[in-house]
Every structure is written in C-alpha cells, then in structure tokens.
C-alpha cells in the first residue's frame, strides 16, 4: 500500500495551546481516493511537539505496513531523518551533538516505534505557500489549538515543566 501523508503542528505562544493536523491520502486498486483527516488540540505544548505528534498519530492509524511519502513544513521533523540526526541521537543514548538530552525524546521514541513497520520518505514543503494539503493541515492544527474541541493534556510536556517549576 502506498499512502501520502501531510502534517502540520501549531502552538499559540510556544509554549501555549497547540494542535496538530494530518491529512492522509490512499488510492485503492480501483483508483478511488480515500482521505482521512486527523486533529487534536492541547492546552499547553510547543510547536515542535505538535509537528511530531501530527506525524506520529498519522502513522499509528495505519493497520498494515505501507510505503509512505510524508510531507511536512517542519525542518525539525524532516531534517531529523533526512540529515540522520536520529541516528546520532540513538548512538549517543538520546544525547545531541552537544551531549545534552534530546528535546522531545518521548515523542521521538514514539515516532520511531510508529514508523518501524513502514517505509517512510520524508519531504519538506514550504509552509504557508499555497500547497493545498499543507494549508488544510495548518487549518486543522490552528483550529484545534484555538479550541475547536476539547483541549487535551500533553503529558510529556507538562510533566517536564512541572519538574522545572514544581
């Protein structure tokens, strides 16, 4: 199965209320296009966490191994794979090149688990440049960040800030 996934994340205030959006396309053997949209909002998070979560949730909803073209306007996400940052983090025990803990390691680990059964090619697209699916993902992400539904707790983010601020 070949699937195309578009994702985006947003946070108001960074950190602040945030959301992700994902649009998935699959063309079945009869040539019919199937589209699935995913979005959720969180009460306090960061843009990078939402960029990651959009990718994670899309991959987690696939029920069998797929060949995936994944499009994101997040250099953070795309470069982590295309420039092999993740490989270095794994070799260094989740430390970056400066020997500091990798930010958002909880989500990076979840992403690696979500993508392990798939063949994923990451593509960067310029954000806010009129790409229809990227614009739709942005609408989903910002709409959820702005309270388009219930705002969830980003446990990984709020736990880390609780540890800092008590």
pLDDT tens figures, 115-149: 999 999 999 999 888 889 999 999 999 999 998 77
Residues catalogued as catalytic: 8-9, 51, 73, 128, 138
**β-bridge mates for residue 78, sequence order:** none
What average pLDDT does the structure give for the chain? 93
Q: Domain spans of the chain?
A: 2-165
Is residue 46 pLDDT above 90, yes or no? Answer: yes
Q: Which residues are annotated as a binding site?
A: 8, 51, 73, 138
**Residue 68 contacts residue 120 (beta carbons within 8 Å):** yes
Residue 86 is classified by DSSP as H
Helices (H), the chain: 47-60, 75-82, 85-91, 105-115, 132-145, 155-165
Q: Name the pTM for this structure.
A: 0.93
Class of domain 2-165: alpha beta
The Cα–Cα gap between 3 and 66 comes to 7
Q: Which residues are annotated as a binding site for Mg(2+)?
A: 8, 51, 73, 138
Confidence class for position 160, pLDDT limits 50, 70, 90? low
């Amino acid at each position: 199965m070949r699937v195309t996934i578009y994702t985006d994340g947003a946070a108001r205030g960074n950190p602040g209320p945030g959301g992700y959006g994902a649009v998935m396309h699959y063309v079945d053997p009869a040539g019919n296009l199937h589209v699935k949209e995913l979005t959720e909002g969180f009460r306090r998070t960061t843009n990078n966490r939402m960029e990651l979560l959009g990718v994670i949730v899309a991959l987690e909803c696939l029920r069998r191994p797929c060949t995936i073209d994944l499009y994101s306007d997040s250099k953070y996400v795309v470069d982590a794979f295309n420039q092999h940052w993740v490989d270095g983090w794994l070799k260094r025990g989740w430390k970056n090149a400066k020997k500091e803990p990798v930010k958002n390691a909880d989500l990076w680990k979840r992403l690696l688990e979500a993508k392990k059964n798939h063949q994923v090619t990451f593509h960067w697209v310029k954000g806010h440049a009129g790409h229809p699916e990227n614009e739709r993902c942005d609408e989903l992400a910002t709409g959820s960040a702005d309270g388009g539904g219930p705002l969830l707790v980003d446990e990984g983010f709020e736990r880390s800030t609780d540890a800092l601020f008590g």
